[in-house]
């Protein structure tokens, strides 16, 4: 009788575990929304287009501004990490200027900043960039443009909006917010999940 009760208890536990596991696997993530490409998608390539935007190959100095360690993951709507996906970013320097022929804003570009970069996701769908907190340009808030490529096909074009103060986010589309925090060295870090 005692063993029968134990067996029922074990069976109930396994059944409950299966239910929980099943409910997790059925969770659907919302796709990251598209946002405007804007006029400053890079039209010329520099020899250096890796994921470290604060150091350009052959340059002796680093870019000026607040350093941002941008990390993230690319998953599908079932939550499965996507490997070998290319994430490409482009943005302004610390002064809010693009390096683009269409950006006629007056001001000195940072010769030590790379302005755009790309990287591929690893086995766990993770990607990372070392870059700067982009300077704002009127009337836009600080943002980083990005494209996601699978092979040679663009599957998403959008923007991440840098949020330093969590209490003031009402003007921005929540899934596109990039919340950043500052460490003791004065560098920022933020995590951005991309779902497609």
> Residues interacting with Fe ion, by CB under 5 A?
38
Instruction: Rank residues 75 and 100 by Cβ distance to Fe ion and give the closer one.
Output: 100
Residue of closest CB approach to Fe ion: 38
Q: Which is nearer to Fe ion, 79 or 175 (CB)?
A: 175
The smaller minimum CB distance to Fe ion, of residues 126 and 164, is found at: 164
Taking the complex as a whole, how short is the minimal distance between the CB of residue 90 and Fe ion, in angstroms? 8
Please state the closest distance from residue 190 (CB atom) to Fe ion, in A. 17
Q: Which residues contact 84 (CB under 8 A, 6 or more apart)?
A: 120, 121
Instruction: For residue 100, count other CB atoms closer than 10 A to its CB.
Output: 20
Q: How far is the CB of 38 from Fe ion (least distance, A)?
A: 4
CB of 163 to Fe ion, least distance (A): 16
* Residue 32: CB atoms within 10 Å: 21
Nearest residue (CB) to Fe ion, 115 versus 188: 115
Q: Which is nearer to Fe ion, 20 or 106 (CB)?
A: 106
Which lies closer to Fe ion via its Cβ, residue 39 or residue 186? Answer: 39
Burial label, 162 (beta-carbon count in 10 A; 0-12, 13-18, 19+):
buried
Q: CA of 8: how far to CAs of 2, 16, 18, 21, 155, in Å?
A: 10, 12, 15, 20, 50
Round to whole Å and give the CA distance between 166 and 144.
Answer: 18
Residue partners of 110: CB distance under 8 A and separation at least 6: 63, 64, 65, 93, 94, 95, 97
* Residue 15, burial from CB neighbour count under 10 angstroms (0-12, 13-18, 19+): exposed
């Amino acid at each position: 009788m005692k063993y029968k009760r134990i067996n029922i208890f074990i069976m109930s536990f396994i059944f409950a575990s299966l239910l929980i596991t099943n409910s997790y696997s059925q969770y659907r993530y919302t796709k990251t929304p598209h946002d405007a490409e804007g006029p400053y998608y890079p039209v010329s390539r520099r020899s250096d287009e890796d994921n470290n935007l604060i150091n350009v190959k052959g340059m002796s100095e680093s870019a000026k501004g607040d350093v941002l360690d941008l990390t993230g993951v690319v998953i599908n709507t079932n939550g499965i990490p996507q490997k070998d996906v290319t994430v490409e970013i482009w943005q302004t320097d610390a002064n809010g200027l693009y390096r683009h022929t269409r950006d006629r804003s007056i001001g000195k570009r940072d010769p030590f900043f790379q302005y755009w970069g790309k990287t591929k996701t690893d086995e766990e769908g993770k990607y990372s960039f070392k870059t700067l907190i982009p300077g704002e340009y009127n009337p836009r808030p600080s943002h980083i443009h990005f494209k996601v490529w699978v092979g040679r096909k663009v599957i998403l074009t959008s923007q991440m909006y840098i949020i330093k103060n969590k209490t003031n986010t009402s003007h921005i589309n929540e899934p596109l917010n990039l919340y950043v925090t500052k460490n003791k060295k004065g560098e920022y870090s933020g995590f951005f999940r991309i779902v497609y």
